Structure 1
Amino acid sequence: MKPGIHPDYRHVVFRDRSGDLTFLTRSTVTSEQTIEWEGDTYPVIDVDISSASHPFWTGRGRVVDTEGRVERFRRRYGAET
């Protein structure tokens, strides 16, 4: 690898406030905000959605077929049931 062209790969804390989830990982993303994590200070990135708040992972999601897409597909392409 060429020296001096790659971003710093360091520990970063990602925080999902709506799901009350915080985890430490490594990333090249930068942030001006910091957080205290187990006695050390790390940059923190606030995310909108994570596995703690996403409807698919929490089981709160539902499939809404407002236009009858399956029926419309069957009508259009003549699929038999």
Structure 2
Amino acid sequence: MKKNVHPGYRPVVFRDRGADFAFLTRSTATSDQTIAWEDGNVHPVIDVDVSSSSHPFYTGRGRTLDTTGRVERFKQRYGGR
């Protein structure tokens, strides 16, 4: 393989400020901001808008749409034409 072609793959902290949740993983993403993590090391931190702690699908706060009712109303309005 060619050297110096691929970006560095290193530990990075992703932080969801809205949910006060952060996790450490490995990534090629870069950031100028850093954070002291629980392991005592300083890692780059990337702020995200949505994580598993704030996403409605994972938290159970999602809405279920009544698609059957919508289809029936459409058929009532336009089905006979």
Aligned residues: 73
Question: Letter of the aligned partner of 2:7 in structure 1?
Answer: P
Question: Letter of the aligned partner of 1:49 in structure 2?
Answer: V
* Superposition CA RMSD, Å: 1.9
Whether 1:59 aligns to 2:60 is yes
Corresponding residue number in structure 2 for 1:46: 47
Whether 1:14 aligns to 2:14 is yes
Q: Percent identity?
A: 69
The runs of 5 or more residues in structure 2 that have no matched partner are none
Distance in 2 (CA, whole Å) between partners of 1:50 and 1:27 is 16
* Over 2 Å off, 4+ runs: 68-72
The runs of 5 or more residues in structure 1 that have no matched partner are none
TM-score, structure 2 as length reference = 0.79
TM-score, structure 1 as length reference = 0.79
